[in-house]
Amino acid sequence: MGVSRVYLDSGGSAPPSRRTSEAVRAGLAEGWADPERLHAESRRSRQVLESSRSAIGEILGCHAEQLTFVPSLTVAFDRVIGGMHRARRGRDRIVVSAVERDALTHAARFAAGEENVTVIPVDAEGHLDLDALAAALDVPDVSLVCVQHANQEIGTVQDLAAVADICTVARVPLVVDATASIGHVPAPEHWDALIANPADWGAPAGIGLVALSPRARVLPAWPDGQGLDAGGAPVPFALASAVALQERAESLEDTARRLYGLVDRVRTEAAAIPGVDVVGDPLVRLPHVVTFSCLYADGEALVTRLDAAGYAVGSGSACTSDVLEPSRVLAAIGALTHGNVRIALHPGVTEAHVDGFLAALREVVDALRSEAGVSADLPAASPVADAAAGVAQEDVASHPAQVEARPSDASPSDDGEAPSITWPALG
Amino acid sequence: MTERAIVDARGMPCPRPVIELAKAVRGLSPGAEVAVLSDDPAARLDVPAWARMTGNAFVGVESPDDGEGDALVVRLA
């Protein structure tokens, strides 16, 4: 008998719903032809693309004409940043936050030159240093500012309204990477260019989405000299992106509220394991994303043993990637980088799944520490448990990602009181 | 003079340098210093994080006597 599977690694790769799978088939039936030709079959493909863009535009709060499908996320970053930078002739510098995706930072370095990229630091919870951003924009040589809506690893949501104010005063366009947030929380409102990742909300991989404001200017900074779309994306995947986003939008608030509570539970219970560092803002965060690091545990071993126990998770530890460097996000916030577990929940994840995962986690972490001979060398459980435990699910206002930290009037958690944590000696 | 233990974890990938550090501090007195020698990029981040999580102090990064890798120094509380 096989182990039943629980998939907790949905960041940028969420399982497709039945409706989304059906949309791929329908998209192939209706939109198999090249949409760029002059006959009826091509026109039908174009229609599928058009209706997909309209449906997505409605959800994102922009016009269909502002949206472009591109063949991948990396292409989206390359073309948006390269093209907007080039259109700002005479301004050499790109400003990025320290927690942007590698693909975005690489695109900025390639477009402006490594020495012309200014990295703005973040605090220990991953919030951008707004004073440092304003100071960086004091010099009139900045072409673009790139700040993500929310972080794909730690979940922290940035104050984009404040970022946009600073950019507006300095008259510098703002590129917002919303690849971790769209499909999970309401789309951001403040941007000149917006980048989204349909695979993050359950569409097939192999398509990216770009939205440009009417005032955004792009000049080709690539060999083909064509538009942003880099040859376009598969029409069936465009349709699937729209259908999947519609499905997410229909139950956005309910799903966000439920997953926010499940992540609260993971944060609290992971932090209650001695020597576990749970990071990111406990309140102003994505509903479905959490990461933590387990002292003395090997990241690769954690992922493979949890996998063997039926749980698919990610990791930002160096040993789990093909580069020697650990996650730049963990480095930027000063978090422990080894023994890292990264989780992104999809709407099908239940409380029972999370409970099973937490039990498996405790077992695997205990076993790895015992094998390393350091079971007795652990600090007490980390204080983040108190912060996270203070917020009940019901306490999340109209939208979880929009709530402000209000520790003073946070109500107690489900069981009526913040857990007092006492742990038996291990081993 | 401050007692200073040396943990030579060069050539060891993460999380070994921190595991060796944890073993080395057993039985050391408050105020003692430990220098972890490491050439693993993650140790530069993880030794300070270990100090924060265990309530000890991270003193800083020094260059080992033979110049190879980093000496990451912590002081026990």
CATH number reported for the structural domain that contains residue A404 in this entry:
3.90.1150.10
The mean pLDDT of chain A is 90
What is the model's pLDDT at position A416?
35
B60 is catalytic: no
Q: What single letter denotes the amino acid at residue B49? A: A
* Structural domain includes residue A12: no
Residue A323 confidence (pLDDT): 67
| Shared domain check, A292 and A273 | yes
- A179's enclosing H/E stretch is none
Nearest CA to CA, how far is B66 from chain A (Å)? Answer: 23
Asked if residue A77 belongs to a domain, the reply is: yes
Amino acid in the structure at residue A165: D
DSSP 8-class letter at A128? B
| Domains in chain B with CATH codes | 4-75 (3.30.110.40)
pLDDT for the residue A247: 98
Do A214 and A171 lie in one domain? The reply is: yes
Q: How far apart are the first and last CA of chain B?
A: 17
Q: Domain for residue A303, yes or no?
A: yes
Among residues A219, A250, A281, the one where a domain terminates is: A250
Tell me, yes or no, whether A303 and A378 share the same domain: yes
Mean pLDDT of A311-336: 88
Please give the pLDDT value at position A175: 98
Q: Band the pLDDT of A2: cuts 50, 70, 90.
A: low
pLDDT higher than 80, residue A393: no
Q: Are residues A154 and A302 in the same domain?
A: no
- Rounded distance, CA A372 to CA A123, Å? 32
What integer pLDDT is reported at residue B65 of this predicted model? Answer: 86
Instruction: Indicate whether A234 and A274 sit together in one domain.
Output: no
Q: What is the pLDDT of residue A241?
A: 98
CB within 8 Å: A299 and B40: no
Which ranges of chain B does DSSP label H, i.e. alpha helix? 16-24, 41-54
What's the CATH code of the domain at A234? 3.40.640.10
Final residue before a domain boundary, out of A250, A274, A304: A250
Whole-number pLDDT of residue A395: 42
Whole-number Å distance between alpha carbons of A145 and A176: 8
pLDDT value for A417: 36
In this model, does residue A46 exceed pLDDT 60? yes
Asked if B23 reaches chain A (Cβ–Cβ under 8 Å), the answer is yes
Residue B22 and residue A296: Cβ atoms within 8 Å? yes
Choosing from B5, B14, B25, B42, the catalytic residue is B14
User: Judging by beta carbons within 10 Å of its beta carbon (0-12, 13-18, 19+), is residue A143 exposed, middle or buried?
Assistant: buried
The confidence band for A322, taking pLDDT boundaries of 50, 70 and 90, is low
CA A119 vs CA A102, A128, A145, A378, A419: distances in Å? 12, 10, 10, 35, 39
Beta-bridge partners for A194: A176, A211
A 289-308: CB under 8 A from B: 293, 295-299
Tell me which of A35-49, A164-178, A371-385 is least confident: A371-385
Residue A321 and residue A231 share a domain: no
Strands (E), A237-339: 276-278, 289-294, 311-312
% chain A with pLDDT above 70: 88
- The answer on A402 and A319 residing in a single domain is yes
DSSP A291: E
Is residue A283 one of the residues assigned to a domain?
A: yes
Position A317 in a domain: yes
Task: Please tell me the distance from the alpha carbon of residue B27 to that of residue A73, in angstroms, as a whole number.
Answer: 52
| Backbone φ, ψ for residue A69 (5° rounding) | -85, 135
Regions of chain B where pLDDT drops below 70: 1-2
Looking at chain B, which residue has its C-alpha nearest residue A297?
A: B15
Is 50 exceeded by the pLDDT of residue A233?
A: yes
- Per-residue pLDDT of A332-368, as tens digits, reads 999 999 999 999 999 999 999 999 999 999 999 999 9
State mean pLDDT over A52-71.
Answer: 97
Q: A334, B48: Cβ pair inside 8 Å?
A: yes
The boundaries of the domain holding residue A381 are: 252-409
- Cis upstream peptide for B15 (omega within 30°): yes
**H/E element holding A364?**
helix A351-372
Q: Could you read off the pLDDT of A89-98 as tens digits, one per residue? A: 999 999 999 9
Taking the Cβ of residue B77 and every Cβ of chain A, the question of whether any pair is shorter than 8 Å is answered with no
Work out the burial of residue A162: count CB atoms within 10 Å of its CB; fewer than 13 is exposed, 13-18 middle, 19 or more buried.
middle
Cβ contact A277–B49 (<8 Å): yes
Asked if the Cβ–Cβ distance from A338 to B48 is below 8 Å, we say no
| B46 in A contact zone (CB under 8 Å) | yes
Let me know: does A130 contact A108? Beta carbons within 8 Å.
no
Q: Which residues contact A104 (CB under 8 A, 6 or more apart)?
A: A77, A81, A96, A146, A148, A177, A195
- Please determine, for the modelled complex, whether the ipTM score is greater than 0.90: yes
- Whether residue A262 sits in one domain with residue A230: no
Question: Are residues B42 and A326, on separate chains, in Cβ contact within 8 Å?
Answer: yes
Residues A333 and A358 in one domain: yes
Number of separate domains in chain A: 2
Question: Looking at beta carbons, which residues of chain A come within 8 Å of B11?
Answer: none
Residues A243 and A350 in one domain: no
Domain boundary among A250, A285, A316: A250
The span from the CA of A322 to the CA of A324, in Å, is 7
Residue A425 has pLDDT above 70, yes or no: no
**Residue in chain B nearest A380 by alpha carbon:** B54
Q: Is residue A106 part of a domain?
A: yes
CB-facing half-sphere around the CA of A127: CA atoms within 13 A: 13
What confidence category does residue A325 fall into, taking pLDDT thresholds of 50, 70 and 90? confident
Sheet containing strand B4-8, strands side by side? B4-8, B33-38, B70-75, B57-62
On whether the CB atoms of residues A354 and A362 are closer than 8 A, the answer is: no
pLDDT digits (tens, 9 = 90+) for A255-310: 999 999 999 999 999 999 999 999 999 999 999 999 999 999 999 999 999 999 99
